Amino acid sequence: MISLHRANFLSNKPSVSGRSFGSTQLQRRGPSVVRVAVGPSKGRSGDENGIVLTEEIKEVSSVIDLNEKSTVSTGGVEDVYGEDTATEDQLVTPWALSVASGYSLLRDPRHNKGLAFTEKERDAHYLQGLLPPAVVPQQLQVKKMIHNIRQYQVPLQKYMAMMDLQERNERLFYRLLIDNVEELLPVVYTPTVGEACQKYGSIFRQPQGLFISLKEKGKVLEVLKNWPERHIQVIVVTDGERILGLGDLGCQGMGIPVGKLALYTALGGIRPSACLPVTIDVGTNNEALLKDDFYIGLRQKRATGQEYAELMDEFMAAVKQIYGEKVLVQFEDFANHNAFDLLSKYGSTHLVFNDDIQGTASVVLSGLLSAQKLVGKKVADQTYLFLGAGEAGTGIAELIALEISKQTNTPLEEARKKIWLVDSKGLIVNSRKESLQHFKKPWAHEHEPVNGLLNAVKALKPTVLIGSSGVGRTFTKDVIEAMATFNERPVILSLSNPTSQSECTAEEAYTWSKGRAIFASGSPFDPIEYEGKTFTSGQANNAYIFPGFGLGLIISGAIRVHDDMLLAASEALAAQVTEEHFAKGLLYPPFKNIRKISAHIAASVAAKAYELGLATRMPQPENLMKYAESCMYSPAYRSYR
């Protein structure tokens, strides 16, 4: 789709001639010959594509040196880029080569600019007559698109309009998303993406990622090669077994990797061509989907055990083989048993990150660091009660314990005793230890058995209540009122997604606590009025963390993820909360500054990677914050020559 094949590059188009190529000039001499000449160096190192760009610059210069005096054949493109599929984004230029022209250019989402093509570009690229006369700048296109999207009353229609735009004009999609991030995040992400996954079969139009099913077992490497890009830096992969709090959606979980990666680009500045969404399809146990005519996945029960492990193993090996050891693999929305196993299995051989265990933990810890100021109590001095002891619950609990242990210089086992978890069978206590899954065992403290959340709240008098159960409306009036009887400012986090699965609404949290709760939720709620006062709640969602976290790993060339990087990310995010936010009772800064926030997180994570000896990019950039920002993708249109 976006490959710079030699035939395209040197196709018989006037557009090829006389382009400045960073420090070079490319000139077409006849249809199949190009001369490469060196000009004054204008290479913009640390451009939007960061590490890859810098490497590309080196490659370009060395080839230019070789070819300086000679005329080279059409093989020049491959030579110049050192490979046959350099992408537009790897060019160190503010302008683009047209890899397609005319009608195909308008159908190529990575290069299409729609009405923004200038007269000159329309002339040079055979677009005359294919567009109406008006030439419209990107800002006006954004204005039109946001206006159009606001006309839709139904969130899923807004989602589909956004996906259509992504498939039509990628830069406009990202410009629109970045400029209207608070309004559009709930459209391309939770809660709407949940509904999109439920109906993914009906709304499926274009493949937006790779589907690797049991049918592909034995040829996963070949399947990866079918993807049009080679320079992949981030893969988000799901097997669809636990999509948000909506359960097993099988192959239709694809909406999640697609949405997460859109955020990697919009919020974290990873270039779109470096992102690969993957869904592993081993079947589904969702009976309704298996019977649904429009279901797009394998029609069989989930494969488990060896068959499952072998497919995942083949995938992980192929990923490393084709993209190298620095590609980040983010596991997303796997069911508990697989999530923990995959993370520990590949944690020592691959650069892997589990968003639900680690990303959610980091964002929640960040909120708790902020809450220290609002409640006047240190993280180590709070008592925590969780409803839900799965990946999110135990992941968060472990990171809090790590922070307590650092704050108080106590062993981790001691620190864990401040944290209690309730699952579907009641409070996790010592007498249940034998029958518990391994990830719950560290939380089985000495206590008599307690049934139900309300009884646990009454017995333990927690100062912080965290919902990670995936089950909606479980923080009942009784529970919140009880929290408010022994806490002046109870901290209440309803993390489950989408909105329908949230443990309580913002309105319930504020009303039942008589306006005293410090509340945040995984999916967004509108501000609410209570007794004449407006309450704005924060969004404790891993979207604050993973884009900047991933950027930090990439710019440092990290080869492994370490818990201390998660702590660094939490602190970096908490440092972005200002007095003005605290005054509103907010635990998180608003999303509107997310790119800056992500750059701060990236810089802290990268610094930690260097400190831990896990970074491979040498030398270490002097100013990591500036470097992170300079590496971020910009959706501004480029000029076409």
**Catalytic residue IDs:** 189, 260
Sign of CA dihedral 315, 321, 323, 327: positive
Q: Residue holding tokens 């992969």?
A: 237
Q: Which is nearer to ligand OAA, 89 or 355 (CB)?
A: 355
Report the partner that residue 398 touches, choosing among Mg ion, ligand OAA, none (CB closer than 5 to 8 A by kind).
none
Q: Shortest distance, CB of residue 416 to Mg ion, whole angstroms?
A: 24
Q: Shortest distance, CB of residue 472 to ligand OAA, whole angstroms?
A: 13
Q: Coil, strand or helix: which one is 281? A: strand
Contact set for ligand OAA, span 163-222 (CB under 6 A): 190
CB hemisphere CA count around 69 (13 angstroms): 0
Of positions 229, 333, 423, 629, contacts Mg ion by CB under 5 A: 333
Contact set for Mg ion, span 348-377 (CB under 5 A): 356
410 within 8 A of 404, measured Cβ to Cβ: yes
- CA-CA distance, 177 to 161, in Å (whole number)? 12
Residue 44 assigned to a binding site: no
Q: What does the block give as tokens for 592?
A: 């509107």
Q: Which is nearer to ligand OAA, 98 or 360 (CB)?
A: 360
- CA-CA distance, 197 to 447, in Å (whole number)? 41
Q: Coil, strand or helix: which one is 279? A: strand
Find all residues with CB under 8 Å of 388, minimum gap 6, and list them. 421, 422, 423, 466, 467, 468, 469, 470, 471, 496
CB hemisphere CA count around 527 (13 angstroms): 10
Q: Which is nearer to Mg ion, 96 or 244 (CB)?
A: 244
Of positions 240, 367, 472, 522, contacts ligand OAA by CB under 6 A: 522
Report the partner that residue 497 touches, choosing among Mg ion, ligand OAA, none (CB closer than 5 to 8 A by kind).
ligand OAA
Q: Shortest distance, CB of residue 286 to ligand OAA, whole angstroms?
A: 17
Residue 191, preceding bond cis, omega within 30 degrees? yes
Q: Coil, strand or helix: which one is 120? A: helix
Give the total of residues touching ligand OAA (CB under 6 A): 9
Kindly report the backbone phi and psi dihedral angles of residue 545, in degrees, each rounded to the nearest multiple of 5, phi listed first.
-100, -55
Asked if 541 touches ligand OAA (CB under 6 A), the answer is yes
Q: What does the block give as tokens for 65?
A: 């040196």
- CA-CA distance, 326 to 55, in Å (whole number)? 14
Q: Shortest distance, CB of residue 244 to ligand OAA, whole angstroms?
A: 4
Report the partner that residue 190 touches, choosing among Mg ion, ligand OAA, none (CB closer than 5 to 8 A by kind).
ligand OAA
- CA-CA distance, 400 to 137, in Å (whole number)? 48
Q: Shortest distance, CB of residue 340 to ligand OAA, whole angstroms?
A: 15
566 within 8 A of 574, measured Cβ to Cβ: no
Asked if 241 touches Mg ion (CB under 5 A), the answer is no
Mask 356-395, x = binds ligand OAA (CB under 6 A)? x---------------------------------------
Of positions 336, 394, 497, 570, contacts ligand OAA by CB under 6 A: 497
Q: Which is nearer to Mg ion, 241 or 356 (CB)?
A: 356
Q: Shortest distance, CB of residue 427 to ligand OAA, whole angstroms?
A: 24
Q: Shortest distance, CB of residue 262 to Mg ion, whole angstroms?
A: 14
Of positions 248, 355, 398, 629, contacts ligand OAA by CB under 6 A: 355
Which part of the chain contacts Mg ion (CB under 5 A), choosing from 163-171, 219-227, 325-333, 446-454?
325-333
Q: What does the block give as tokens for 507?
A: 């309105």
Q: What does the block give as tokens for 391?
A: 């990946």
Residue 88 assigned to a binding site: no
Report the partner that residue 93 touches, choosing among Mg ion, ligand OAA, none (CB closer than 5 to 8 A by kind).
none
Residue 541 assigned to a binding site: yes
163 within 8 A of 200, measured Cβ to Cβ: no
Find all residues with CB under 8 Å of 337, minimum gap 6, and list them. 437
Asked if 239 touches Mg ion (CB under 5 A), the answer is no
Kindly report the backbone phi and psi dihedral angles of residue 282, in degrees, each rounded to the nearest multiple of 5, phi listed first.
-115, 20
Residue 332 assigned to a binding site: yes
Distances (CA, A) of 349 to 199, 316, 324, 345: 36, 10, 12, 8
Residue 195 assigned to a binding site: no
Which residues are at the interface with Mg ion (CB under 5 A)? Answer: 332-333, 356
Annotated binding site: 242, 332-333, 356, 497, 541
Annotated binding site for (S)-malate: 242, 497, 541
Which residues are at the interface with ligand OAA (CB under 6 A)? Answer: 190, 244, 333, 355-356, 497, 522, 541-542
Annotated binding site for a divalent metal cation: 332-333, 356
